[in-house]
Amino acid sequence: MGASVGGPVESVSLNGRLFAVAADADSERVLGGFTNEVQSNGDGGARIIKTRIPWKIGGLTVDINEDRSDQQFLKGIADGNDFVTCTVTFASGHTYQGRGIITEEVPFSSANTTAEITLSGPGEASKQ
């Protein structure tokens, strides 16, 4: 069995456009599926209540190139009415893909030429 490999996300592709990710950015990944809650019954037993949740990858600090109008491209995805193909490659070399959308504002940092985005979508993000 190989070693566990951590590190930042290397790249993000949204609707076919590739974005580099800041080397010091820490992202959080939720694969999607279900959360569970246990509720008590009057007789001392319990029920499992399953709630479906979307996949989500947050903390993606992407490089914004003004010449490519990257912020406007990302805003277009966020403002859109449909999910787009999202592919995220981690430092380990593993890639996850799903249909999703940007779920928050797209703030541009002029000092760093980056924007932090969060992606989320239906179902589960699948390992490629």
> For residue 109, what are the domain limits?
9-127
**Distance (Å, rounded) from C-alpha 47 to C-alpha 41?**
7
We report the CATH number of the domain holding residue 27 as: 2.40.30.200
Sign of CA dihedral 51, 105, 76, 64: negative
114 is a domain residue: yes
4 is a domain residue: no
* Residues ≥6 apart with Cβ < 8 Å to 9: 21, 25, 27, 57, 60, 88, 89, 90, 91
83 is a domain residue: yes
2 is a domain residue: no
- The structure tokens listed for 34 are 């279900």
108 is a domain residue: yes
Report which of 78, 84, 77, 118 is spatially closest to residue 99, judged by C-alpha positions. 84
- Could you report the average pLDDT of every consecutive run of 10 residues in the chain (128 residues)? 86 97 93 97 97 97 97 97 97 95 95 97 95
* 86 in Cβ contact with 17 (< 8 Å): no
3 is a domain residue: no
Q: How many domains does the chain have?
A: 1
pTM: 0.90
80 is a domain residue: yes
Q: What is the pLDDT of residue 85?
A: 98
Q: Which residue has the tokens 């566990």?
A: 4
